[in-house]
Amino acid sequence: MLLWWVDDDDRLGRDARTAIADGGSEVFVSTVSVWEVEIKRALGRMTAGEDLVHHVHINAFSALPIRFEHATQVGRLPPVHRDPFDRMLVAQAQVEGLAIVTSDRAISRYPVAVLAA
């Protein structure tokens, strides 16, 4: 959803947009999100997302690094979702007690807070 925020894309709904813009909310961006975009860009499957780290900083979002606890939690997840990036996002949200902003319905099948994008 970071790309939708950066591009002011209409696919990011009003509730998600309001929550992200709320000065009282701390918004985390996972390292895995930037990693996924960079892999897709390197493979020529994506042209958007230039300088994502800059956008994280100027929007005062917090970086969420990948920790051992996150990696361990990924291994405990049922095989609901096959995408390793999304599985890491779920694990991070579970370990850190965070909600995920997503339009991916499979993610809501995990025991994790989801804010519809």
Taken in order 8, 96, 53, 26, the sign of the CA dihedral is: positive
Residue 95: its pLDDT value, please?
98
Distance, in Å, from the CA atom of 100 to the CA atom of 3, rounded to the nearest integer, reads 14
Residue 48: its pLDDT value, please?
67
**Segments of the chain with pLDDT less than 50:** none
Identify whether the C-beta of residue 34 lies closer than 8 Å to the C-beta of residue 52. yes
Residue 89: its pLDDT value, please?
97
Residue 2: its pLDDT value, please?
86
Max CA separation in the chain (angstroms):
37
Distance, in Å, from the CA atom of 57 to the CA atom of 101, rounded to the nearest integer, reads 19
CATH topology of domain 2-116: Rossmann fold (3.40.50)
Domain residue limits, the chain: 2-116
Three-state helix/strand/coil letters over the chain: CHHHHHCCCCCCCHHHHHHHHCCCCCCEEEHHHHHHHHHHHHCCCCCCCCCHHHHHHHCCCEEECCCHHHHHHHHHCCCCCCCHHHHHHHHHHHHHCCEEEECCHHHHHCCCEEEEC
Residue 15: its pLDDT value, please?
94
